[in-house]
Amino acid sequence: MNARWIATTVLALMGFAAPAWAQARASAAPEDVTPAELQRMFDGYSILQAQESLKLNDDQYARFLPRFKALLDTRRQTLQQRTRVLNVIRRLLMEAQPDEGMLRDALKQLQEIDTRGEADAKRAYEGIDQVLDLRQQAKFRIFEEQMERRKLAMVTEARARQANRLNRQQQKP
Amino acid sequence: MGHLTPALLVDLAEGIKADQSVPHLAQCDACRRALAELRATITDVAWPGNPEHGGSDVPEPSPLFWDHLSTRVREAVAEQGAHRRARWFEAWSRPLVALPLLATVTAIAVLAVVTLRKPLVPNPIPATPLPILQSTLLPSLPPLEPLGAPDDPALALIADYGTSLGWDELREEMAGVSHSGGIDEAVITLSTEERQELQRLLEEEMTQPSALGAS
């Protein structure tokens, strides 16, 4: 079975269906897109890139995809929980007399989220490593680093393009 | 009772004690004779050459006597010194002295050689800084400027970044230190138009072959 077919199927089941979705959206006018949608698109992009970067065979790729998705979900879930607690702390600190008991509880909750997040991520990595050989495990660490850089570059590029568009509009008489 | 002691004989000869106070003298010819000789000697020394006092007549020495005496004394002293040096060498060169001495010197020499040939063990590096670092003889460095001072080199570095790099480039430079999930946070801060632009970029990327290539 073709690896790209596997990816499309898995992504479709996960709610991405990236290539088909991308081709459909390419011809249509861009609509407003939420941060959550963009984050899911980034996940789909990472999943598609992984196959070629890690040189996964079809069998490996089929087993790798749900595990990689689990790692991404774990990270995102931890980040969301963390952000929520940080917002609570920020709100408490804006008060003239912050409730120390609530602050203490929030800090404790933050600690628990970090601890649980690290443990979940470790389990997810172990699951991924089970389907990869040693070189692929090493490549996967590098791949993740490169993906983070690539995503940041895209965000930066998006900002620059929008800034250029605004400049051109302002220069027009 | 035994014979008279020399001290008692001297006392008797000099008249400190009377002969009658010592009964032994009347009974012992030997002690009487010794006392008579001692008295005669004392008389000779006290009054030499004076027959009136019982002294014998001793002629004056020749005028050359003193010169000769002086010479002979010097020669005798010199000869005795030579003898003493010869005796010293003879004493040290006797087998009973020389052999133990030679053995002792040899033992000391061997011990010295063994000690000097012992492999050198490097001194362990002390865990604490050497006192030299705290020596007041070292030139003292000028105190550091407080953090945030106008000429703080760290601020100068940031200023260089600020003038040579745009904000987006600076973010890219800092990508290596961004934590996992940092992209999600960055996406949240985008404006609607920027998100649409990012969406377009992602669509382009996903329709292309791997942008990362083989790692």
Domain ranges for chain A: 3-19+34-158
Window 31-50 of A: residues touching B by CB (8 A cutoff) are: 31-35, 37-39, 41-42, 44-45, 48-49
Q: Which amino acid is at B80?
A: Q
pLDDT at B136: 44
Task: Say if CB A38 and CB B183 are below 8 A apart.
Answer: no
CA A143 to chain centre: 14
DSSP category for residue B51: G
Which structure tokens are listed for A124?
């997810």
Number of domains in chain B: 3
B13-40: average pLDDT: 86
Distance CA(B154)–CA(B133), nearest Å, equals 27
> E strand or H helix at B66, and its extent?
helix B65-92
The end-to-end CA distance of chain B, in Å, is 130
Q: Is the pLDDT of residue A96 over 60?
A: yes
Q: Which amino acid is at B16?
A: I
Q: Select the residue of B168, B200, B211 nearest A30 (Cβ to Cβ).
A: B200
CB atoms within 10 A of CB A33: 19
| Same domain, yes or no: B36 and B78 | no
Which structure tokens are listed for B202?
């992602």
Q: Select the residue of A53, A150, A152 nearest B178 (Cβ to Cβ).
A: A152
Crossing angle of helices B29-46 and B6-13, in 10° steps, is 60
Is B147 exposed, middle or buried (CB count within 10 Å of its CB: 0-12, 13-18, 19+)?
exposed
Distance CA(B44)–CA(B46), nearest Å, equals 6
| Residues contacting residue A93 through CB under 8 Å, at least 6 positions apart | A103
Query: Which of A97-101, B100-104, B140-144 is the least confident region?
Result: B140-144
| Same domain, yes or no: B43 and B70 | no
Residue that is written with structure tokens 């030299």 in the block? B132
Best B195, B204, B210 member to test A by mutation, with max A CBs in 10 Å, is: B195
Answer yes or no: is the ipTM higher than 0.85. Answer: no
Residue B38 domain-assigned (yes or no): yes
pLDDT at A100: 93
> E strand or H helix at A40, and its extent?
helix A35-54
Contact: A45, B202; criterion CB under 8 Å:
yes
DSSP category for residue A132: S
pLDDT at A81: 93
Contact residues, chain B, for A78 at CB < 8 Å: 181
Distance CA(B81)–CA(B85), nearest Å, equals 6
Task: Say if CB A48 and CB A6 are below 8 A apart.
Answer: no
> E strand or H helix at B153, and its extent?
helix B153-164
Residue that is written with structure tokens 């003493």 in the block? B84
| Residues contacting residue A137 through CB under 8 Å, at least 6 positions apart | A128, A129
Window 181-200 of B: residues touching A by CB (8 A cutoff) are: 181-188, 190-200
Residue B174 domain-assigned (yes or no): yes
Determine the structural domain holding residue B95 and report its residue range: 65-117
Residue B29 domain-assigned (yes or no): yes
**pLDDT tens digits, B119-159:** 555 555 555 544 544 444 444 455 544 444 445 444 444 44
| Same domain, yes or no: B48 and B13 | yes
What Rg do the C-alpha atoms of chain A give, in angstroms? 20
Distance CA(B98)–CA(B100), nearest Å, equals 6
Residue B148 domain-assigned (yes or no): no
Distance CA(A90)–CA(A130), nearest Å, equals 41
Which structure tokens are listed for A66?
């749900």
| Same domain, yes or no: B164 and B190 | yes
Torsion of CA A44, A50, A52, A56, to 10 degrees: -120
Contact residues, chain A, for B203 at CB < 8 Å: 22, 25-26
Residue B112 domain-assigned (yes or no): yes
pLDDT at A123: 95
For residue A168, name the pLDDT band (cuts at 50, 70, 90): confident
A173 to A167, A170, B91, B105, B154: CA distances (angstroms): 12, 8, 128, 112, 44
DSSP category for residue B212: S
pLDDT at A112: 96
| Same domain, yes or no: B169 and B200 | yes
Q: Is the pLDDT of residue B164 over 60?
A: no
Residue B138 domain-assigned (yes or no): no
| Same domain, yes or no: B46 and B80 | no
**pLDDT tens digits, A112-150:** 999 999 999 999 999 999 999 999 999 999 999 999 999
B157-172: average pLDDT: 48
pLDDT at B109: 86
Residue B132 domain-assigned (yes or no): no
CB atoms within 10 A of CB A103: 14
Helix, strand, coil % over all residues of chain B, rounded to 5: 65, 0, 35
Residue B60 domain-assigned (yes or no): no
pLDDT at A66: 92
